[in-house]
Structure 1
Amino acid sequence: MGLEIISRVLPGIGVCQEVPLHGGRRVGIVTRRNGQREIVVYDEDGDGAAATVSLNEDEANVVAELLGAPQLMVRLADLQRQADDVVTEQLPLSAESPYDGRALGDTQARTRTGASIVAVLRHGTTHPSPGPEFTLHAGDLIVSVGTREGLDHLARLLDGSG
């Protein structure tokens, strides 16, 4: 990626993670000990805050979603371009799926198909790296990586036809 994230402990406050921007300025994310987060844009000298925005948990999650989800898809697409035999696909989970309402681990997807489920998209929210206890629901988009054959097998597994 090329950017170095600088982490600093803020005694009695929390942690600040700063990222240098292309124009020489910096932006930081302060995570307070109480869980509150703030976005800090430093002034041009880098000595003080030019602007600060406080975020509650829901707002922080939405901002993370807006910044993170597209990047996940870009990285997966880059991976696909780098390796012709690796395919990335979003597979819908229908209401007729035998896995609607069941834990992801029940699918045994990786063992049975060789494909990996790397995220689940649900109602505009990305759930990256879902664990085996993650419950699947009709309407989910299952972000998967594998060979064409493996993803075809996974699609059949999820829809109950194979």
Structure 2
Amino acid sequence: MGTRRTPLPGVGTQYDFVTDAGQHISVVVHHDGRRFLGFYRPDDPDTCQASVQLTTGEATALAHLVDPAPIDAVRTDGLDLVTEHIPVTARSPYGGRQLGDTKARTRTGASIVAVLRRHSAHPSPGPDFRLAIGDTLVAVGTREGVDALAAIVGGG
């Protein structure tokens, strides 16, 4: 299952994925924090069958139901900060390169506070930490900064 990330200028970001069973689901994250969960017809991926609006709190509660591991160790409620998990995919120009090569903080103002690997976590990685395809970066920053970092890491 792969996730496709699409910037929506003036709105936010849309995340799409297709389950192993073929169900197309999307999450639209608006700049103001609202989230919409969309479910699409298997025979027509452009037809949304149902959409559910979630507040930030509801989205967090749903995420905890899906994956009970603590994902919000940094509380950003009410602040102009977001915490995002950014995958390092095969399209990323940074697989196999050092974290410092991204120049993340200088270019975006966002900070990479941890790198998650399949069976390990690396908090506070230094600039010499070598990224691998399949890693997940835990980033903290403004919505714009984290979105810019995701585009850089994603090769966009």
Q: When the two structures are superposed, what TM-score results if normalisation uses the length of structure 2? A: 0.54
Give the structure with the larger helix fraction.
Answer: 1
Matched residues in 1 for 2:105 and 2:120: separation? 23
**Of the candidates 88, 99, 111, which is equivalent to residue 116 of structure 1?**
111
Matched residues in 2 for 1:99 and 1:132: separation? 13
Q: When the two structures are superposed, what TM-score results if normalisation uses the length of structure 1? A: 0.52
State percent identity of aligned pairs: 57
Runs (4+) of structure 1 moved beyond 6 Å? none
Residue 82 of structure 1: how far off its partner (Å): 4.6
- Rg comparison, structure with higher value: 1
Residue 95 of structure 1: how far off its partner (Å): 1.2
Aligned position for 2:48:
none
Give the structure with the larger strand fraction.
Answer: 2
**Of the candidates 105, 120, 125, which is equivalent to residue 120 of structure 2?**
125
Unaligned 5+ segments in structure 2 are: 1-68
> Is 2:77 aligned against 1:81?
yes
Deviations 1:123-155 (A, max 9, x none): 131100000000001110100000000011001
Deviations 1:7-53 (A, max 9, x none): xxxxxxxxxxxxxxxxxxxxxxxxxxxxxxxxxxxxxxxxxxxxxxx
Unaligned 5+ segments in structure 1 are: 1-69
Aligned position for 1:145:
140
Matched residues in 2 for 1:153 and 1:86: separation? 14
Matched residues in 2 for 1:111 and 1:119: separation? 17
